[in-house]
Each structure stands twice: as structure tokens, then as C-alpha cells.
Amino acid sequence: MTAGSVLPAACAVAAAALFPLVVRDPYFVHAAIMVLLFAYLATSWNILGGLAGQHSFGHSAFFGIGAYVSTILFIYYHVPPLVGMAVGGVVASVISIGIGYPCFKLKGPYFALATLAFTEIFRIVVTSTEQIGGIDLKGAAGILIPLQPGKSLLNFQFSGKTSYYYLILVMLLAILFVYRWMERSRWGLYLAAIRDNEDAARSIGISATRYKMIALAVSAFFGATAGTFYAQLLLYIEPALFSSAFSIEILLIAVVGGAGTLLGPFLGALILTPISELTRTYLGGGYAGVQLIIYGAVLVAVMMFAPQGLIVPLKRGWRLLAERRP
Amino acid sequence: MRGKVACIVSVCCMVLLLGFGTAFAQQEIKIGVLIPLSGSMAVIGENLQMAHDFAAKEINDAGGVKSLKGAKIKLIYADTRGDPKVGMSEAERLIVREGVSAIMGAFQSSVSYTSTEVAEKYQVPYLVPNSLMDQITERGFKYTFRVERKGSYWAKDQIDFILDMGKKTGVQAKTIGVVYENTDMGQSIAKAIRKLAPEHGLKVVLDEGYPPKTADMTPVVLKMKRANPDVVILNSYISDAILLMRTIADQRVNTMALLGSSSGYSDPSFVKEVGKLAEYFFDLTEWTTDLKHSPLVAQKNAAFKKWTKDHRDFNGGAAFCYASTYILYDALEKAASTDPKRIRDALATVKITKGPAMIIPWTPIEFDAEGQARGARMLVIQYRDGQRKSVWPANIASTAPVWPMPKWEERK
Amino acid sequence: MTGIIEAAVNGILMGGLYGLIAVSLSLIFGVAKIVNFAHGALLMVALFTVYWILELLKVDPYLSALLAGCFLFFFGYYFQRLFIEPILKREKDTAALTVILLTSGLMLIIENSALLLFGADYRTVRTAYTGKVWEVAGLYIMQPRLIGFVLSVVLIRLLEFYLRRTNFGRAIRATSQDREAARLMGIDDYRVYKVTFGIGTVILGFAAAFLTPFYFIHPAVGDLFVGKSFVIVVLGGLGSITGAFLGGLIVGLIESVGAQFINSAMVESLIFIVFIACLVIRPMGLLGKERE
């Protein structure tokens, strides 16, 4: 980080840390948690989508795997969710390699459609499976996670929303550091080479499939941890977590903010998540569907006028502002 | 349109109120209503919304809640989109932001299942008019009350009906098929039938779940034709109900009876769209317009028909939403407070024997320790000349059932 | 056994319609390389167009397709002109993802506007063909499905004829094969895209007219067909008209015959599995050409 960007970054972190102390309304804290969670999730997508340029339409598969693995371990084997989170991440990474093997043979829209098909298969199978080897998956009904008497970090259950807020804030900072670190490492350079021109990268001896696979596994790991967090926050999971619509929502956030940039996904979450929450709040009752029209219109506008993501014009504006200062 | 008009009217009212100061300000009791208002369930949600609105209008016109100095009931709708996640966050919003005293909703079982948990956490009473998943009232919750019968009892009623018809007419069903949309509601009924049918000597020869958003129902219907069950129990939302019914007729699948499980089959658009094909179709439901137990049924339905713009009848879901609004009103009168905890205590001890809530055919309306309505029972209707005629149980039915259904080839 | 034959016949008839819807997608996908996520919404627009023509003019449903086609051509043409063309002009090669997201946004706008305009009611049209059945050797064949299937085959032959034998048709094929080369030959590639999009939408109008006698119309009806259409397009081969039609038949068969053996809820995943297998084993599709 350059000296110039340390100060604003520190300010932003401090502001984020103070937020729940100033705003005590649990509704707003909940909304803020959702923003941070989506920022985290979109950043985990960005590791594959941004760094390696592989626009996956199946990221919700990993999210769902994380949610289901940690929940099942918790309910049936009494494994604390914090441990289940790590296990879910590893399971997702392993499965991601199975998905990556066929999908990385494909490019562009074909890759997009294949990953989308994978997550739909997960959704259908989980929806139709009531039981698997004595474990009750509950099919379409979903699983409700019982409240635990002891509030602790290990059990991932807290009395107030604020603890969830700080937890996801720390997780988000961590993944941003991982992203930055990967981007600057040798891996990141290889991935950038693959993203910009895969054939050229191969010709200078970079094993494209291997590096894409690593990016996918890391992306899947973090995606799954978000799933565990979500499960423990809402205490309810359902097969729709695997849906392609949810995958597209994640991808939208990253792309609207700016794929392949450090703060793009965060910016996307900051804009899109409140839009969908607020429009539903103020328009949901009387004007059914209007909230989705607004969401669609924002999407169309961004794609038509700032396809590189909103971070690009924002940065330009920031630079202009900085130059004008004496 | 109603929304728009209501919006304009309420804006005008607000302007007026601001103009006159607070002198005329009247106490309001905010009640949250969670229903699907967008997406593929929107048509169902709109129908329920009208029923809630109608009840609230009647209550307010009659002077509001008297024990609270005539305070008016204000319904605040929240769109769940039929999504359990959205249901949860909307429930939280209704409670925390809007400060509602109680909640009603949320039609789909999965949404009720999750949103009641939020209400339990915040200790706000939640009255469920229409969801049938057993577990909703089996979690030891103190703040959840359900007017509807449990899903596993639905299956029991359906089997009872089939056996009863066999005894009465001598045409007994031996095999049974269950066809359902692969959602929580469908799975929950199918599971119960799978378990109950063999215990009563009925063999399940077809057990078919189909995915939501199925474009073509013919494969399912052909499978039904091959399995050839005596009775088919169906569970669908609207679009699939329309497609299934048309395809069954096209393929001339003849059975003793087709028995629906409300939902899509009780929706007004079902009979409107399939027309004559719906004739003789049986449907297990909570309610019909021709019930004989009380004159209120005919009166209130006529009033609702007059009030709605497209002059529609109550269907089961809507009737329960209407009655639930009155049950809540009764609790409010008793509690004489807008405090959620006191309303909860009042709900737990209601014992309603008169008033518009009695369009529901069981007396008294009261809740057991789990919050499940005691004595809740179901009835069966048969479509006759495009009308839903109650045919079972005999003591409240208006019409004699035609069992078995006539073959497709013999119909005009 | 008759059950399986019946299922196969139904699979082929329904598959023909899936095929026709996919042909439209394939044409747009193949020529302009646009992954159109709003395809389902366009089908819905086509269905409502046919619906209103039938309600207001009371013509034969199959005739209504011609009237609907006139409107839908311009709808498709300007859809491409106003939204997608600016992006293609700006981004040249990397537009795939942008266009996917743009069309998802448009899908949300179109579907929910329809919900506001027409309400959430399910509508059906009772035509002279509705509910008519032919009995052939113990099999029940639904008239509107058979007519729809036959007309789909005719329409696809006509389309192929147009693409092979007319000048503009050749221009479309040339652009599809090599855009740069076609441009050097003096073909206005953006005009080709717009017309292709228009033709694709007209085909949806026909599909809508074939569906209407036995189907329902609702703002979200497109969702039922769109996922399948993508599977079919990839299965049949990018931009291949016959391939897409064949893919439609295969998906129809899997869906109909497969359901006789396993639970229909799982058949959906079977289609996706076939899709991924096809992508990996034969990425150019059944009839597609080798791509770079």
C-alpha cells in the first residue's frame, strides 16, 4: 500500500468499527452485516473471477456446501461451527477441483453455462434428498439450526447482532488481505497472464489449468466459509442457497463494483445490497415487482455506462479531487 | 391498482392530518402481514391481501378496537417473494422498524417456518392462517399460533375420505397415487401419505414429485396412466395445476377420483382456466362458500364479493386470512393493549364462539399449548357446474358426492 | 411398452417446440455471440402479443403468428439496437459477460413490468384446437401439439432456405463464421446483428402461437423454457439451426422418457448432467463446427 492510501483505508476501517456503536437500530446493523457478507462473498468470487478472469456462474454451490457441511456437522456430530466452517471450506475446495476439471476446458459463455449447470444440479439433488445415510437433509423444507444456550465464538452464536457484525468485518478484512497478497505474489502474476492471454501464458510455460485450479480452490474455500457464517446468522438453510439466481447475484455485485479490483466487490455490495433491501422495504407492499425493475435498471445502466465497474469512475473522480487539492 | 389508490388516499390523509394538527390523531394498532406479492406466487398473495383488507375495513368501520378507545387496525404488508430468507428479514423489519404488535402470514410453509422463529426471538405473536408444515407448531414456541390444520392431518383426512367414500358407495379404492410439486408442502403431504396409506390397506402405486417450473406435465401424466391408481392425490400450485388438469383430460386418464390438496386447486383461476375439465374433481380444503353451519358464511362471502373489484368469492386461503384477522381482533379486544406480550397471552386463551371468525366450521376457536388450533378439521369439495360444493363430511356438506368420477369418454 | 412409446411420441412433439425456441436463441448466440439471458422474457412478450391479438381480433391462433411477427421483429431489432449494440461497439471482443449481465437486468425489467401491466393472473386462450385429441392406434395425440410440431419443422426448413439461398441470409452466415472477414467483404455487421435479433424474436412469436392453444400465459412463463433452451443450444452446436432443433428433440425425449424410469424431480438434473457431459466430450455440439 502506498502512503497515500493508508490514511483513507484506516479511516474507513475505523468508521466501520464504530458503526454499530453509533447506530443501535438492529435493523440497520442487520443490513450492514448483509452488506459486509455480500462484500466478503463477492471478494471470494473475485479471486477466481477477477484474478484469473474466469467468470463463474456457480459460486453459490460453494456457499451452499459450506452452509450444509457445517450445519450437518453441528447438528449430528456436535462439531462447533467454527471448526465446521474450516471443514466446509476444505470440502468445498476438494469438490471445486472436481468441478474445475471439466469446466476449465471451456471458455467464455461455455464456462459460464457449465458452472451454472453444476450449481443447479446441486440444488436439485439437495431439494430431492430427504435423507442420506441417517442424516436428515429435510429436502425442500431446509434445516433450522437450534439456538444454543451458551453464546460463544466457537458455537458461532451470539446474543446481539453486533458480534456478528464485528466477526464479518474481521473476515472481510482478512479476505481483502488475502486477495491483495495473492494479486502481488508470483501466483497473481501468472493468473494475470492467463487472464489477459491464456495461449501466450501457456506458450511461456505457465501451466494455466493448474493455476486456475488453485484460484478456484481458494475461491471455493472462502465462499464456503461465507456459507457457514450465513447459516449461523439466519439459523436456517435451504436448497435455494445453491440456486443459479443466487450465483448471479454474487457475480453481479462483483462486476457492478468492478471485477479484478481489490475494492470493487465491496463497492458493489455497498450499492446493490441496500438497493434491494430498501426498495423492498419501501415499495414491497403496494407495488409488487417495482423493486426488481429498479434493480434491473441499475444493472442495465451500469453495464451500459460503466462496464468495468463503478470503481473506475469513482477512482477517476477521487484522483481529480486529490489533484485539485493544494 | 388498489395499492395505488390506497397509496394516494393515504397520502391525502397524511396531508390532512398534518394540516389539522394532531387533534384528530387516533391511536392505530399496527399489524404486520407477510405474504408473497411478487414472483410466481403473486396471484395467490393478492387474493389473500384482499381478504385481510376486507376484514380490517369491516373492523375499522365498526368502530375499531373498543377496548382501546376505538383504535383502528392498520395492516402493514411486506412482500416475502415466497422466499424464506426474505420472510425472515421482512419479519425483523416489521417488528423492529415498523413496530408491529403482531404478525400474520406467510402462506408458504417454508416462509412461515423461518419467520415465526424471528417473531419468537422478539416475542411478538405470530398468527399463521394458511401454512401446514407440521413443525411450525412443534418447536415449543410460545408466540406462534396456527389456525390451519397440520399437514400430516391433511393426509389423514384425505385417506379417511377415500375409505369413507368406498364404504358408502361400495366402490372401494385399493391403490393410490400421489403426485406433488417437489417443495416443502408437497413433500410433507407425500411423506404422510406414504406412511398412512399402507396402514389402511391402500397400496401406493405412484409416488411422483415433479420440479417447480415444469414446462410439460405429460411425462408425469403418462406415468400416472401406466401406474393406473384408483385414486390420485395431487398437490400443486396454480400453473402446474392448470397444466396437470388439462393433460389428464387430454390423455383420458380415468380414475375413481382425483383429489387435490387445496393451494392451486382451490385458487379461483384454476376453475376459470380449466373450465369444464374441473368437473367432478375433489379437493380437500379448509373451507367453501356453501358451508351450512352458519349463515355468516353466505353473508360474508356475498359482502366480500360485492367489495372486491372483480367480484370474487372467498377461497379457503382467503377465508382463513379473513377469519384470522378477526381472531387477532378478538385477542386485541381482550388484551386491551398493543403490547405484543399481552396480545400473545390473550391469543393463547381465546375461545371464539361467535362473530365473523365463525365462518370457519368449528367451534370454539381456541389454541392448544403448542399454539395449534384445537378441533381444526378439513372438508372435501367437488367441482360441480364450476362451483365448489362441499360433499364431505356429510353433516356440514351441501351436496351428495359423485363417486367414482365419470370417465372422460362419457363426458360431453 | 405402449407407455414408453407414448412418452417418446410426447417427448418428440414437445421437443419440437423446445427446439424452435432454442433455434431462436441459437441464431442470436451463433451470429452475434450474444448470450441472451432475456430470452425467456422475450418469449413472454411474444406470448402476450399473441394473446392480445387473439383476444382483440379473434383470428386463428396460427394466423396470429404472422401479425405478431410484424411487431416482434421491430421489438427484437430495437432491443438489439438500443441496448446491446452500444456495448458491442465499445467492447468488441470482451463483451460476453457484460451482455449476460445486461440481459439479466433487462429480463428483470421486462418481466416485472409485465407483472405491473397485466397482473399476476394466469391466462389461457380457448381456441378451436384446445383440448382436441386424435386417437391413433391407442395413443392419444394432442392436436395443437402435433400441428405445432409440423409447423415448427416447416418453419425451420424455411429459415434454413432463407439463410442459404438469399443474399441477406448468406450475409448472416458469413458474419456468423468470421465477422472480420465479412466486414472486409462490405457486410454491415451491426445491421446483420439487428436483423438476426429481429428474426430470432419473430421465431419466438411463432413458438408463442404454437404454445398458446394448450398453454398458459403469465409474466414469469419464460422461466420455464429459458434454462432448457441454453442446454439445447449447446447440445446442438453453436449457431446450428438443425442442431438446435435436434437438441430440442433430445431434451424432450430425455424429459419424457426419463420420467418413466426415475422421479421427474431428478430428471431436471439428468438434463444438466447430459449438458455438462456434452460440453466436455464434444464441446462443438452435435452438429456444430469446430471452433477455435
CB atoms within 10 A of CB B247: 22
Phi, psi at B338, each rounded to 5°: -100, 10
Mean pLDDT, rounded, for B126-137: 89
Mean pLDDT, rounded, for C171-182: 88
Sole residue written with cell 363430511 = B393
Given this model, what pLDDT does residue A283 score? 61
Mean pLDDT, rounded, for A230-256: 89
Mean pLDDT, rounded, for B2-30: 54
Confidence tier at B16 by pLDDT (50, 70, 90): very low
Q: Specify the range with the lowest mean pLDDT, choosing from A289-298, B154-163, B268-277, C153-162.
A: A289-298
Please give the grid coordinates belonging to residue A216: 478456484
Instruction: Provide the percentage of residues in chain A whose pLDDT is more than 70.
Output: 93
C153: left (phi over 0), alpha (psi -120 to 50) or beta: alpha
Q: Is A98 on the interface with C (CB under 8 A)?
A: no
Q: Is B210 on the interface with C (CB under 8 A)?
A: yes
Helix or strand or coil: residue A105?
A: coil
Given this model, what pLDDT does residue A21 score? 83
Structural domains of chain C sorted by starting position, each given as residue range(s) with its CATH number in brackets: 2-281 (1.10.3470)
Q: Specify the range with the lowest mean pLDDT, choosing from A144-153, A221-230, B396-405.
A: A144-153
Instruction: Provide the percentage of residues in chain A whose pLDDT is more than 90.
Output: 39
Please give the grid coordinates belonging to residue C180: 472480420
Residue B19 scores a pLDDT above 60: no
Q: Which helix (H) or strand (E) holds C30?
A: helix C2-32
Of the segments A228-242, B308-322, C8-22, C85-99, which one has the largest average pLDDT value? C8-22
Nearest residue, CB atoms, A235 vs list B7, B79, B117: B117
Given this model, what pLDDT does residue A314 score? 87
Mean pLDDT, rounded, for A263-272: 92
Sole residue written with cell 443474399 = C167
Complex-level ipTM: 0.88
User: Mean of the per-residue pLDDT values for chain B?
Assistant: 88
Cβ contact A234–B85 (<8 Å): yes
Residues 6+ apart with CB under 8 A from A254: A42, A43, A45, A46, A49, A50, A264, A265, A268
Mind listing the pLDDT tens digit for each residue in B32-58? Answer: 999 988 766 777 888 899 999 999 999
Given this model, what pLDDT does residue A1 score? 46
Chain C residue with Cα closest to B274: C124
Q: How far is CA A313 from CA A11, B315, C96, in A?
A: 21, 54, 22
On chain B, the residues whose CB falls within 8 A of the CB of A286 are 3-4, 6-7, 77
Mind listing the pLDDT tens digit for each residue in B357-404? Answer: 999 888 789 999 999 998 778 899 999 999 899 998 888 888 999 999
User: Mean of the per-residue pLDDT values for chain A?
Assistant: 86
Residue C214 CA to residue B10 CA, distance in Å, equals 43
Task: Judge contact between B329 and B31, C-beta under 8 A.
Answer: no
Compare A141 and A119 and report the one with higher pLDDT.
Answer: A119
Mean pLDDT, rounded, for C283-292: 61
Confidence tier at B337 by pLDDT (50, 70, 90): very high
Mean pLDDT, rounded, for A135-153: 76
Tell me the domain boundaries of chain A. 3-242
Of the segments A158-172, A188-202, B323-337, which one has the largest average pLDDT value? B323-337
Q: Count how many pairs of residues, chain A against chain B, have C-beta atoms within 8 Å.
A: 98
Torsion from C-alpha of C66, C67, C73, C78, nearest 10 degrees: -170
Q: Specify the range with the lowest mean pLDDT, choosing from A81-95, A222-236, C117-131.
A: C117-131
Compare C1 and B92 and report the one with higher pLDDT.
Answer: B92
Chain C residue with Cα closest to B1: C116
Mean pLDDT, rounded, for C246-254: 94
Task: Judge contact between A79 and A73, C-beta under 8 A.
Answer: yes
Structural domains of chain B sorted by starting position, each given as residue range(s) with its CATH number in brackets: 25-149+294-359 (3.40.50.2300), 152-285+379-410 (3.40.50.2300)
Given this model, what pLDDT does residue A38 score? 95
Mind listing the pLDDT tens digit for each residue in C10-59? Answer: 999 999 999 999 999 999 988 888 889 999 999 999 999 999 999 999 88
Q: Is A141 on the interface with B (CB under 8 A)?
A: yes
A39: left (phi over 0), alpha (psi -120 to 50) or beta: alpha
Phi, psi at B104, each rounded to 5°: -125, 155
Given this model, what pLDDT does residue B21 score? 40
Mean pLDDT, rounded, for A162-189: 92
Residue A277 scores a pLDDT above 80: no
CA angle A86, A87, A89 (to 5 degrees): 65
Given this model, what pLDDT does residue A287 score? 58
Q: Which of A101, A304, A305 to mutate to test binding with chain C, by most C CBs within 10 Å of its CB? A: A304
Sole residue written with cell 392448470 = B242
Mean pLDDT, rounded, for A183-188: 90
Given this model, what pLDDT does residue A17 score? 85
Q: Which of C224, C249, C270, C272 to mutate to test binding with chain B, by most B CBs within 10 Å of its CB? A: C224
Cα–chain center distance at C208: 10
